[in-house]
Amino acid sequence: MPERRIRKGHLAAINELKKLKLKLYNNDFLLTWDRSDDELRSIVLVAELFKELHRAGISFRTFDTGLAISIFRDKSTRTRFSFASAVNALGLGLSELDEEKSQISHGETVRETANMISFLTETIGIRDDMYLGEGNKYMREVASAVQDGFDNEVLHRRPSIINLQCDIDHPTQTLADLMQLTRYFGSLKNLRGKKIAMTWAYSPSYGKPLSVPQGIIGLMTRFGMNVSLAYPRGYDLIPEVITLAKKNSARNGGSFEIVDNMEDAFDRADVVYPKSWAPYLVMQRRTEFLHNGDENGLVALEKECLANNARYKSWECDERKMRLTAKGKALYMHCLPADISGVSCEQGEVSKKVFEKYRLATYAEAGYKPFVIAAMIFLTRVQDPAKRLQQIIRKNSSRG
């Protein structure tokens, strides 16, 4: 019977979860490299279980009451709606903090705001990727503030802080990517020795965050993959993340290399991830101009950067480059939205033909994100996650 097969799979996942050493309860999820291998595996396990429960029409509602607060300091489609659907599935109400409509515009401090929005709140999701050196710092300031409120009995519960993208990492995206790879290759273990090409690609816009490529090299080197990072000279990432990727690779097997052309990265790759980003030094300058309100400086910087990008229009994921990959059949990945040549722009990151071939695969990749976010919230809010999952499955309440 289908129900029995589902339950058997659930039991195996729960038994595996019981074996993992976790320190996520009453904690935050800010960077993948802050979390242990077991904790990353737990996210994948629970997210996959939630996805299967949802597919089977079984509710994984966890909370009877409580709020989830979202703070988006940049535009978002996938992450915004993924967070909303995740908290709804868990049984939480959603409230989005609009800083323009709050007392922040009147000088309210981060410490005060964090406590005022947290009285009946279970989790706070934050996206802050605009300012290099500021986004993750802001998340940690919020985390410190709610910890202080909890320690001093202002808050009955300490809400967990979930990084929905910052200037350094995009953990909900890269863990969704990891789940896509796990499904594609069959298991986390099967990622070992597979080559992934994380490459810069041309875009007719500038200022795209560094967090996705940094997140990919920081995470995939944890699982023994052969990571090839490619970008034109000058399009460097944050040096500390490069050092981290090298250390991960040395510790976990696989390899990590940096090359300065797309073809070398694509050569015999099993996975390709062509994605534009702004150079590290440009993002530093951009942050300075934004802080100083220097509109003229920003306009001049954009003009300079677009002219520099235009020198590398050949950095496009096209059919010719895809033929260089392993058996010419590498998996194409993207966090979306992609700059599609002849569709969303005249010339961009990926050709229309390549994107169309993998379009549904990229949608499936994005489809893991609500379950990843739900898993992060669940594991940071529930003290005994295996026991709670058993209760949820035993209840077996259908969505309706």
pLDDT of residue 400: 47
Domain 2-169+368-395 has CATH 2.40.50.100: no
> CA nearest 279: which of 313, 257, 316, 309?
309
Q: How many CA atoms lie within 13 A of 324 on its CB side?
A: 16
What confidence tens digit (pLDDT) does each residue in 22-42 have?
Answer: 999 999 999 999 999 999 999
Per CATH, 2-169+368-395 and 174-366 having the same topology is answered yes
pLDDT of residue 397: 53
Angstrom distance (rounded) from CA 387 to CA 395: 12
What confidence tens digit (pLDDT) does each residue in 10-25 have?
Answer: 888 899 999 999 999 9
What length does the chain have?
Answer: 400
pTM above 0.75, yes or no: yes
Domain spans in the chain, listed from the N-terminal domain onward: 2-169+368-395, 174-366
Q: How many CA atoms lie within 13 A of 34 on its CB side?
A: 15
What confidence tens digit (pLDDT) does each residue in 182-235 have?
Answer: 999 999 999 999 999 999 999 999 889 999 999 999 999 999 999 999 999 999
The CATH homologous superfamily to which domain 174-366 belongs is Aspartate/ornithine carbamoyltransferase (3.40.50.1370)
